[in-house]
Amino acid sequence: MNQIRIQAVWSYTKENFKNAIDLIVKKMIDPEPIVTKIISLDDIVEEGFECAINLETTDIKILVEP
């Protein structure tokens, strides 16, 4: 019998999001280089999850569009 364990972790707080938005609004950081891939919601399994488990990927942040 094979077993798979899936564990999720949430590491961002409301304060983290507030600080990030403030830095973007003040033009202290440019978020565009951080987004390395944009995928559609329909492709989330094939492209999103596969990329997340691929240890050789160079993607940093993947945005999912509806």
- Please tell me the distance from the alpha carbon of residue 2 to that of residue 4, in angstroms, as a whole number: 7
- The residue length of the chain stands at 66
- In the structure, what pLDDT confidence band is assigned to residue 60 with cuts at 50, 70 and 90? confident
Between CA 11 and CA 59 the distance in angstroms is 19
pLDDT digits (tens, 9 = 90+) for 2-57: 888 877 777 888 999 999 999 999 999 998 888 888 989 998 888 888 887 887 88
pLDDT of residue 27: 95
Q: How far apart are CA 18 and CA 12, in angstroms?
A: 10
Q: List the domain boundaries for the chain.
A: 31-66
DSSP state for residue 56 in the 8-state scheme: T
